[in-house]
Amino acid sequence: MARHGGGQGWYGKVLGAALGVTLLAAGGSVWSAQADAVGASSPKAAVSGAPSGDVQRVAVSIVHASDKGARGVNITIDDGPDPEWTPQVLDVLREFGVKATFCMVGTQAQAHPELVKQVVAAGHRLCDHSVSHDTTMDKKSQAYQSQQILDAERMITEASGGVRPMYYRAPGGAFTPYSRTLAASRGMRPLGWNVDTKDFERPGTDAIVATVERELPNGPTLLFHDAGGDRSQTVEALRRILPELKEQGYSFGFPVR
């Protein structure tokens, strides 16, 4: 899983460092990131004040595998939702009967709750992609990482009407042992990718399709984007890739948890 920089600088560092910030964790309980920054030396300690509720802890390792097995493909869509491009991506997925995992930025989910609900209603899964898509999260404090992950979890859950994200994907792949353990403790499996389609750079539809065809042997999880600028190439690439993969005998599934 190579690091990618899609969206860095577009969202900006919306909330800045989380030191001293009181966080509203999913479930509605309030706890302090300041205690995390000052006194927590491990992910377990950092989340000790977060409500557990019915959250089931999942594995901390970064997942790539598909629940459809060796011939499975996971379509993952990052950085949205976006009012122009997310509906078009949803239309293409619906046309070919494909379910995907949408890795949503917290501020985007909060701004467009109707789109989050559409994603859920269509049978797709949600993924926490942090509050502000800071690709340098792995260089920041544990308190900052907590704020980015837990606030995004809350934003996405509220926007969806109560459906929690099932995965956590670090912006640009900026995972840390701490962030993976924190996400897993909230029931969000850390999610990687095998094929970076480079669609964020808008290399052309043909180039996006060629990247998938060339790199799919590397593994089943494909990375696309539905926000951050003109995503027309992504939409057209999906329109070509999905039926092509079906014809080759692939099935579309979700990352294992």
Q: Which residues are catalytic?
A: 78, 225
Q: Which token pair is 145?
A: 């990482």
| CA 68 to chain centroid | 20
- Measured CA to CA in angstroms, residue 167 lies from 71, 129, 186, 206, 208 at distances of 21, 9, 9, 30, 25
Contacts with 129 (C-beta within 8 Å, 6 or more apart), sequence order: 78, 79, 103, 104, 105, 106, 152, 168, 169, 171
Residue ranges of E strands in the chain? 22-24, 30-32, 72-78, 101-104, 125-128, 167-168, 189-190, 195-196, 221-225, 251-253
